[in-house]
Amino acid sequence: MQTFGKNAAARLILPALFFVVMLIPAQAQVLAHSGEVAGTIGYNHSSFTNNIGSTFNPTSNHFYGGSGGYNVTPHITALVEYKYDPLIPPSGSLFTVHSQLSGAAARYNFTPSKKVVPYAILGSGYSRLNATDSPLVQIADGYYVNFGGGVSYYVCKHWGIRPEIRYERQHVTYFSEILTANVVDVSGSVFYQFGGTGKKKK
């Protein structure tokens, strides 16, 4: 009797799971006029130079961020973004250093009606570098530009994950010194899509 019960349960549960899995790609897509929020964590590799010819040793460390977006069309997404980067200070320095970036970006979605959506992205905005040796705080302001690409993978209609890689160029000015950073970011995001209009795939 127990064996019969297990077999019957398997016959009911397995088709049900298959049905659910089949529904996921049918509903997952980039919808026009939908919104999106995302949280990001990543790892970067940075090298720095200044306008007087000094070059600083490359550093690698983690960063955090978030974004909000609006899908103007299934192909075009407008974004606002924020990134916090707890930089590793030069060897022997007693300073704690971090940078904050806030700006806008545009994403082009290549296959918006699919569950897997590769994309290209271009962004720019405001950059601030903080160096603190209590109670002294030094602040350098500037700008950044970046570009890259990734893949939006819809786990279901609303939720998804997004691996991404970008190249970023930062310029900040402190008095007469201009510090330039070349940064490669590798990140992963979890995103939530809400609202929107569009024809669901059948």
pLDDT per residue as tens digits for the range 29-61: 899 999 999 999 999 988 877 766 555 566 778
Q: Give me the pLDDT at residue 6, please.
A: 46
Portion of the chain with pLDDT greater than 90, in percent: 48
Backbone φ, ψ for residue 52 (5° rounding): -105, 15
Residues paired with residue 19 on neighbouring β-strands, in sequence order: none
pLDDT at position 102 over 60: yes
The fold of the 2-197 domain, in CATH, is Porin (2.40.160)
Q: What pLDDT digit, counting tens, does each position of 140-179 carry?
A: 889 999 999 999 999 988 999 999 999 999 888 876 778 8
What pTM was computed for the model? Answer: 0.77
The pLDDT of residue 4 is 45
Q: Assign 202 a pLDDT band (cuts: 50, 70, 90).
A: very low
pLDDT of residue 144: 94
Distance CA 150, CA 117 (A): 8
Is residue 137 within 8 Å of residue 131, measured between CB atoms?
Answer: yes
Mean pLDDT of 77-85: 96
Buried b (16+ CB within 10 A) or exposed e, 52-64: eeeeeeebeeebe
Residue 23 pLDDT > 70, yes or no?
no
Amino acid at 75: H
**Tokens 């296959």 belong to residue:** 111
pLDDT at 50: 73
Question: CA 14 from chain center: how many Å?
Answer: 35
In angstroms, rounded to a whole number, what is the distance separating the alpha carbons of residues 144 and 122? 11
- The pLDDT score that the predictor gives to residue 2 is 46
For residue 74, the tally of other CB atoms under 10 A from its CB is 19
